[in-house]
Structure 1
Amino acid sequence: MRAYRKIFSLEKLPEGSKVQVEVDGMEIGLFRVNGTVYAIDNICSHARAPLSDGELDGYEIACPLHGARFDIRTGEAKTAPAYEPVACYDVKVEGDDIYIAL
C-alpha cells in the first residue's frame, strides 16, 4: 500500500499554477487546474527537462526544451518528440493540505 505524503498547503498552489517539489528524492510536478490538483513526474520522458518550467495550457504541460506535450491527468505523451508517458501520482486534499501517494 502506498503512503500519502503531505506536501504543503493548498493556498501555495493557486488555480492555474504549477510548481516542482522534491519528495523522497523524486522531482514531482504539481498542477492545479479547475480546482483539482494533479501530480506527475516532473522530468520529460524525451528530453529530461523539468516539465513545470514549461507552459501549462488547460490539462497539458509542454516541455520547455522541445515542446512535447503531456496530459497532467494521465501522464500520456500527446505530441512528438515524446512518445513515452510520465508517471502520475494519486493526490488527495484534506482540509487545506495537499497529499501525494508514493
Structure 2
Amino acid sequence: MALMTVAKLSELTPGKGVCVEAGGKKLALFLVDGKCYAIDEYCSHRNAPLHEGQCVGIEVVCPWHATWFNLETGAHRCPPAKRGITAYRVQVTGDEVQVEV
C-alpha cells in the first residue's frame, strides 16, 4: 500500500464531499471538524455516488436510498445496504491530503 496525494486541504469545504481518484479507485473525500476521511465512492447497495451524500457528524447519508456509512470505519448502520464499504487511512502533510491505497 502506498500514500497517494489526492487533494489540497485548502480546496476542501467542511462537510462537503469530493470525488477523487487514487490507485485506480474512486474515493469520496470529506473534511469534518478539521479531519479528512476517505471511503469508497460508491454505495454498496446500488452504487450511488457517496461524495454527493449529506454529512452528519462522521457519517455520510447515501443520496439515493439513505443508508448511513461511518466515515472512520466504512460500516453501515441501516438498510437498504447489507454491507459496509472500505474506509482508507488519510494523512495530511502541509496542504497535501494523501490516502493510503
Which residues in structure 2 correspond to 1:32-51 (within 5 Å)? 32-51=31-50
Counterpart residue number, 1:20: 19
Range 15-24 or range 61-70, more displaced: 15-24
Instruction: Tell me how many residue pairs correspond in the alignment.
Output: 101
- Summarize deviations over 1:76-98 as a string: whole Å, max 9, x none: 01111112110011100011110
Q: What displacement does 1:9 show?
A: 1.2
Moved over 6 A (4+): none
Runs of 5+ consecutive residues of structure 1 not aligned to the other structure: none
Please, what TM-score do these two structures have when normalized by structure 1?
0.93
Matching residue's letter, 1:15: P
The Cα of 1:63 is off from its aligned counterpart by 1.1
Q: Percent identity?
A: 38
Give RMSD over aligned pairs.
1.0
Match in the other structure for 1:62:
61
Confirm or deny: 8 A CA contact 2:6 2:97 kept in the other structure.
yes
Q: Which amino acid aligns with 2:66?
A: G
